[in-house]
Amino acid sequence: MKIDCEKCVKCGSCVKYCPLGAIKLDEDCAVIDQARCVDCGDCIRTETCPVDAFIYEAQPFPRSVREAFSNPLAEHKETRVPGRGTEEMKTNDIRGLFGKGIIGMACEVGRPGVSCSFKDVDIVTRALAEGGMEFAEENPVTKNMVNKKTGEMSKDIMNERVMSAICEGTVPIEKLANCIKLATEAAKKIDSVYSLEFIDRPEADRSVPMQKVLDEAGIKYYRNGKFNLGLARPLAQ
């Protein structure tokens, strides 16, 4: 994203709308810190600029990954699905990927609202791989890995920043405690944050098998979260 300095009237109305604080008022006009900007498109969508000074230009690779991972309205070429991850538990009622000892786990690096580089992502994916995660094939982070066994990310994109990148996959419940340990150790090495997520299926008595592992690992989960109501057909048993 860029700002046309010839058009800009230096009103400053756009500055507060950038979620990453990448827009500053310079002597002549408002300017975007290109290293910090993740091409999320928020500045254009809010239509705050009175003179339409924002310029959008599709970027060549590797800069193009910024928009793909940051603009919620951008579709990933491979999946045609907008957003940053896969369908994960949202369609588990038909896909049946999680449950019965297979736990879904995700570290969304950069979330909430901090952003991250792929150097941060690389640290997390390597830890998850060592912990036994089988990465989700349709996930855009997985598609940018050069080695799914080690979690190594492509060096081509290592210097790119994105709003967030979801490292996700499945972990057998017997490996979950170790995977959590490695992931939380990796958290100390990144220059960002990540949000941690776990997916399982409740038993008939409404208990959730993974809960015991999370409790023993000291994970304090929130009282709210996502809940699939099981309306897809055919229903995954």
Partner 1 sequence: MKGVNTLDGDLVFLSMSAKGYANDNPEAGPKMKKTLEIAKKHNPVNLGDMKTGNILAVSEEQIMNNVVDTSIVHAVFNNVADAAAFAKEVREAELGISLVISAPFDKAWEVADKSGCMGHTIEFSGGIWGKTEYLPTPEINDFTTMCGHGMISRYLVEWVLDRVKKDKMTAKDGAVEIGKQCCCGIYNPDRAEKLIKAIVGK
- Residue 29's Cα: distance from chain center in Å? 32
Distance between CA atoms of residues 65 and 71, nearest Å = 10
Task: Pick one of 4, 5, 21, 137: the residue that binds partner 1 (CB under 8 A).
Answer: 21
SS3 state of residue 99: strand
Q: Which is nearer to partner 1, 172 or 202 (CB)?
A: 202
Task: Pick one of 7, 11, 17, 64: the residue that binds partner 1 (CB under 8 A).
Answer: 17
Q: Does 151 bind partner 1 (CB under 8 A)?
A: no
Q: Does 95 bind partner 1 (CB under 8 A)?
A: yes
Residue with tokens 């990954």: 65
Distance between CA atoms of residues 74 and 166, nearest Å = 15
Q: What is the dihedral of CA 94, 124, 161, 192, to 10 degrees?
A: 110
Indicate the pairing of strand 54-55 with strand 2-3. antiparallel
Task: Pick one of 3, 30, 110, 168: the residue that binds partner 1 (CB under 8 A).
Answer: 110
Task: Judge whether 104 and 97 are in contact, CB under 8 Å.
Answer: yes
Distance between CA atoms of residues 161 and 210, nearest Å = 33
Q: Which is nearer to partner 1, 157 or 168 (CB)?
A: 168
Options 24-32, 59-67, 168-176, 199-207: segment touching partner 1 (CB under 8 A): 199-207
Task: Pick one of 37, 89, 133, 136: the residue that binds partner 1 (CB under 8 A).
Answer: 89
Torsions phi, psi for 169 (to 5 deg): 175, -160
Q: Cβ of residue 37: shortest distance to partner 1, in angstroms?
A: 13
Distance between CA atoms of residues 201 and 228, nearest Å = 9
Q: Which of residues 160-189 bind partner 1 (CB under 8 A)?
A: 163-164, 183-184, 187-188
Q: Does 233 bind partner 1 (CB under 8 A)?
A: yes
Q: Does 11 bind partner 1 (CB under 8 A)?
A: no
Q: Does 133 bind partner 1 (CB under 8 A)?
A: no
Q: Does 228 bind partner 1 (CB under 8 A)?
A: yes
Residue 134 gets which letter from DSSP? Answer: E
Task: Pick one of 25, 44, 178, 221: the residue that binds partner 1 (CB under 8 A).
Answer: 221
Q: Does 117 bind partner 1 (CB under 8 A)?
A: no
By CB under 8 A, the count of residues binding partner 1 is 81
Distance between CA atoms of residues 41 and 54, nearest Å = 10
Q: Cβ of residue 68: shortest distance to partner 1, in angstroms?
A: 13
Q: Which is nearer to partner 1, 60 or 220 (CB)?
A: 220
SS3 state of residue 122: helix
Q: Which of residues 27-86 bind partner 1 (CB under 8 A)?
A: 40, 42, 45-46, 72-73, 75, 79-84
